[in-house]
Amino acid sequence: QAINEIQQQMAAPEFYQKSADTITEAQQALASEELELEKLFARWEELEG
């Protein structure tokens, strides 16, 4: 859900008119959420294996 929200914010045309810091924070938040999701999928595979 967090990934979807960040992606929606970043997809808005006005998003890239914001400050560089705001854009960087959103990009870092997205990367962090995606990494966490990858970890959860890896753990799920471990449990199923």
pLDDT tens, 23-35? 999 999 999 999 9
Range of the domain at 22: 2-48
Q: How many domains does one find in the chain?
A: 1
**Residue 44: per-residue pLDDT:** 98
* pLDDT, tens digit, 9 for 90 and up, residues 4-49: 999 999 999 999 999 999 999 999 999 999 999 999 999 999 999 8
| One-character DSSP codes across 1-49 | -HHHHHHHHHHSGGGGGS-HHHHHHHHHHHHHHHHHHHHHHHHHHHHH-
Does the reported pTM lie above 0.95? no
**Residue 49: per-residue pLDDT:** 84
Structure tokens at 37: 């999701």
**Residue 10: per-residue pLDDT:** 98
